[in-house]
Amino acid sequence: MRPRLTPPRVPGSAAVVVEDLRKSYGTVRAVDGAGFTVEHGEIFALLGRNGAGKTTTMEILEGFRARDGGRVAVLGLDPGDRSTARTLRERIGLVLQDIAVEPYLTVRETVTRNAGYYPAPRDVDEVIGLVDLAGQARQKVRSLSGGQKRRLDLALGMIGNPGLLFLDEPTTGFDPNARRGAWQLVRNLRDAGTTILLTTHYMEEAQALADRVAVISAGRIVAEGTPTTLGGRDSALTRIRFALPPGRTVAELPVAAEPDADGLVTVESAEPTGILHRLTGWALDRGTVLAGLTVDRPSLEDVYLRLTRTPEKRVS
> Does residue 172 share a domain with residue 204?
yes
Name beta bridge partners: 212: 44
Would you say residue 167 has pLDDT above 90? Answer: yes
Cβ 169 vs Cβ 157: under 8 Å = no
| Number of domains into which the chain is organized | 2
> Does residue 242 share a domain with residue 158?
no
> Does residue 260 share a domain with residue 160?
no
Stretch 157-165: mean pLDDT, rounded? 96
CATH of the domain at 84: 3.40.50.300
**8-state DSSP, 241:** E
> Does residue 210 share a domain with residue 148?
yes
Q: Is residue 6 part of a domain?
A: no
Q: Is residue 301 part of a domain?
A: no
Residue 112: enclosing H or E segment and its boundaries? Answer: helix 107-115
pLDDT of residue 1: 37
Which pLDDT band holds residue 184 (cuts at 50, 70, 90)? very high
The pTM is what? 0.84
Question: pLDDT tens digits, residue range 40-93?
Answer: 999 999 999 999 999 999 999 999 999 999 999 999 999 999 999 999 999 999
Q: Is residue 1 part of a domain?
A: no
pLDDT of residue 310: 62
Taking Cα atoms as reference points, which of 37, 34, 77, 73 lies closest to residue 57?
34
Which range marks the domain in which residue 267 is found? 237-296
Question: pLDDT tens digits, residue range 211-265?
Answer: 999 999 999 999 999 999 998 888 888 999 999 999 899 999 999 999 987 789 9
